[in-house]
Structure 1
Amino acid sequence: MQQALRNPDLSIILVNYKTPHLIIDCLRSVETYTSGLTYEVLVVNNDPDPSGQAVVLNAFPGTRWIEMGYNSGFSRANNRGIAESAGRLVLLLNSDTLLIDNVLKRCADVLDSRPGVAAVGPMQITREGKVHTEAFDGFSQLRRYFYIVPGSGFFKRLLHRFLPDKRYADPNEVDWLIGSFIMTRRETIEKAGGLDESFFMYAEDVEWCWRLGKQGQLLLLRDAFYVHLEYGSSSDYQESKVTHINRFKSQMHVSNLLWVRKQYGAGAYLVLILHYLTLIPVIFGWKIAVNLLNVRNPFSQLDNQRAFARQVGIFLRFFWQTLFNQKGFYKV
């Protein structure tokens, strides 16, 4: 059983939002597989339902439970956990994760033995052991995904030309690490700063890794793994129906656009907004033309197009705030 420690090697920070049972499963895997380093666990609670505290603490009484008092999102909750933690190393760990071996010690050893490394994480796998191949680890990969273009090779090549991937000599080095598992040093956080609290959820890990990367390498260990169940606390912010033009989830993309503005400037942000605004008449016009060619009501079957227009409307709610990079709480 985990015991409270004054100076642990590692502080493990989890955020709770309707996931106390997932947290218990996660902590059982930590307890089962972790050896060779001392650690403390801090759970930062974003859930207004108070029942989760007893559930977690009954199973793991050594856990430190921190109340936020409201759904503060990922950045603010983790920053609170970082501020109240004591380890020389800090791990942000999602509640919907499971360890399968002593990966915490391995990551800690990398940080202890390689001062040029700023942060480290393992590969995500499913419960069945399949690697999450759709996960991005490059800034340009993510930015290319934001452009809605025909799926032909020409447009893909064009995007690759204007947004090329960065190449590293070390095959494990990446632009960013998924926020479900990021281990770094406390001193690195002190230099880079904590997570940006304008982000409610999503993309805060990308922006944070941009700043962590200025302090050293970010390593994704290709032969180390952890299970990421997806999705636990973020289930309220997921949409099940996905199409080519409606691939974005509202909260996720509001945060993505904020990241683009912060890292690449107002010009890059405006190009994306103009791209989406231009698409609205294009996709409506295309569907109306298809309907006419098929001798249908020209204004039938436009649900997908209307959904995209509504999405753009949500993005535009945050337009001026994002354009001027104003501090706030970018919550849909």
Structure 2
Amino acid sequence: MQNPDVSIILVNYKTPLLIIDCLRSVEKHTSGLTYEVLVVNNDPDPSGRALVLDAFPTTRWIEMGYNSGFSRANNRGIQESTGRLVLLLNSDTLLIDNVLKRCADLLDSRPEVAAVGPMQITRDGKVHTEAYSGFSQLRRYFYILPGSGFFKRLLHRWLPDNQYADPNQVDWLIGSFIMTRRETIRKAGGLDENFFMYAEDVEWCWRLGKQGKMLLLRDAFYIHLEYGSSTDYQEHKVTHINRFKPQMHVSNLLWVRKQYGVGAYLVLILHYIALVPVIFGWKIGVNLLKFRNPFAELENQREFARHVGIFLRFFWKTLFNQKGFYKV
């Protein structure tokens, strides 16, 4: 049997019903190319296999045997796949038109392009404007500083955005939909398996981008429901200083270390450590000015200190870029 045009790789972790909905949308909207589907299973619950295979018997089901995270599971799928093109697709996504064919045609006709993806939208059609497309945009977000005025200008001057002649060219693509060539993966390498979850797509796109342009098709769309399988790794109380999910930011710090080196990593870590006494002192000062117990309402500050403690658990491993499994 001839190899398919595209290998579609999905990772299952407690999302078999989402995968079925996703594959129904693929089946409904995809034409003009051949494809295979590989589901890599990270879920210890065996019931998902029967659900998916009953609905889509031709799906190739691959067992990891443990929750291996995003990078290791996708790399296994890439190794087992046979298509000349590879698509990483999240389980919580839905196609709304024949975007697979458009992306495949683009990669076939433009050899200077390394990878391509469409824009994310919500189920009600709202574009995900918060999705980053530049490395510097992402790095600026890591600094807990006032979001306007002097500090905003300072960060933009220190970390300027890359400028491209092609309006569709970006630094990186969201990992929920990345299509690239098998040959490009061979040259750039697979996803970095030190990452458990988050930021692995950013680091991978950095290496893919060395092989050619990264294109974000701003007039093509797919639905990303978010977050189908990541609820175990999210913080539900979000404030300005506690807006980072610990797992996400441990991975972000690993990405900064790998891509930008020891200096950039240490600047961020020292920034967080220095903020601990600052935010405690600020709140205590506010309480004193309002004639309240100086140690009242410090829950937010304690939570930030707890997060910094989690980051520091991975400090030496990250500093020396040691191999491992960076899972909180």
The TM-score range, normalised by the shorter chain, is over 0.9
- Partner-residue secondary structure (3-state), 1:143: helix
Q: Which amino acid aligns with 2:232?
A: D
| Superimposed CA distance per residue, residues 193-251 of structure 1 (whole angstroms, 9 cap, x where no aligned partner) | 00000000000000000000000000000000000000011121112211000010000
Q: Which amino acid aligns with 1:59?
A: A
Q: Which amino acid aligns with 2:216?
A: L
Find the counterpart in structure 2 of residue 318 from structure 1: 314
Find the counterpart in structure 1 of residue 304 from structure 2: 308
* Corresponding position: 1:148 with 2:152: no
Find the counterpart in structure 1 of residue 18 from structure 2: 22
Find the counterpart in structure 2 of residue 289 from structure 1: 285
| Superimposed CA distance per residue, residues 119-154 of structure 1 (whole angstroms, 9 cap, x where no aligned partner) | 000000000001001110100000000000023311
Equivalent in 244, 255, 259 of residue 255 of structure 2: 259
Structure 1 Cα separation of the partners of residues 231 and 92 of structure 2:
11
Structure 1 Cα separation of the partners of residues 141 and 312 of structure 2:
19
| Superimposed CA distance per residue, residues 76-111 of structure 1 (whole angstroms, 9 cap, x where no aligned partner) | 000000000000000000000000000000000000
* Corresponding position: 1:223 with 2:219: yes
Find the counterpart in structure 2 of residue 78 from structure 1: 74
| Superimposed CA distance per residue, residues 155-178 of structure 1 (whole angstroms, 9 cap, x where no aligned partner) | 100000000000000000000000
Q: Which amino acid aligns with 1:81?
A: G
* Corresponding position: 1:280 with 2:272: no
- Could you state the TM-score of these two structures normalised by the residue count of structure 2? 0.99
Q: Superposition pairs for residues 127-146 of structure 1, below 5 Å?
A: 127-146=123-142
* Corresponding position: 1:35 with 2:31: yes
Q: Which amino acid aligns with 2:127?
A: V
Q: Superposition pairs for residues 1-332 of structure 1, below 5 Å?
A: 6-332=2-328
Structure 1 Cα separation of the partners of residues 299 and 183 of structure 2:
51
- Partner-residue secondary structure (3-state), 1:196: coil
Q: Which amino acid aligns with 1:316?
A: L
Q: Which amino acid aligns with 1:310?
A: R
Q: Which amino acid aligns with 2:273?
A: L
Structure 1 Cα separation of the partners of residues 147 and 174 of structure 2:
26
Structure 2 Cα separation of the partners of residues 51 and 298 of structure 1:
53
- In 2, are the aligned partners of 1:6 and 1:86 still within 8 Å (CA)? no
Q: Which amino acid aligns with 1:176?
A: W
Q: How many aligned positions are there? A: 328
| Superimposed CA distance per residue, residues 232-287 of structure 1 (whole angstroms, 9 cap, x where no aligned partner) | 11121112211000010000000000000000000000000000000000000000
- Partner-residue secondary structure (3-state), 2:32: coil
Q: Structure 2: which 5+ residue stretches go unaligned?
A: none
Q: Which amino acid aligns with 1:283?
A: I
- In 2, are the aligned partners of 1:198 and 1:328 still within 8 Å (CA)? yes
Q: Give the superposed CA RMSD.
A: 0.6
- In 2, are the aligned partners of 1:42 and 1:63 still within 8 Å (CA)? yes
Structure 2 Cα separation of the partners of residues 238 and 16 of structure 1:
18
Structure 2 Cα separation of the partners of residues 82 and 126 of structure 1:
28
- Partner-residue secondary structure (3-state), 1:265: helix
Structure 1 Cα separation of the partners of residues 315 and 235 of structure 2:
22
Cα distance, 1:6 vs structure 2: 4.3
Structure 1 Cα separation of the partners of residues 234 and 55 of structure 2:
29
Q: Which amino acid aligns with 1:151?
A: G
**Structure 1 segments of 4+ aligned residues over 4 angstroms from their partners:** none
Q: Structure 1: which 5+ residue stretches go unaligned?
A: none
- Partner-residue secondary structure (3-state), 1:287: helix
Q: Which amino acid aligns with 2:318?
A: T
Q: Which amino acid aligns with 1:73?
A: G
Q: Which amino acid aligns with 1:139?
A: F
Structure 1 Cα separation of the partners of residues 219 and 314 of structure 2:
40
- Could you state the TM-score of these two structures normalised by the residue count of structure 1? 0.98
- Partner-residue secondary structure (3-state), 1:325: coil
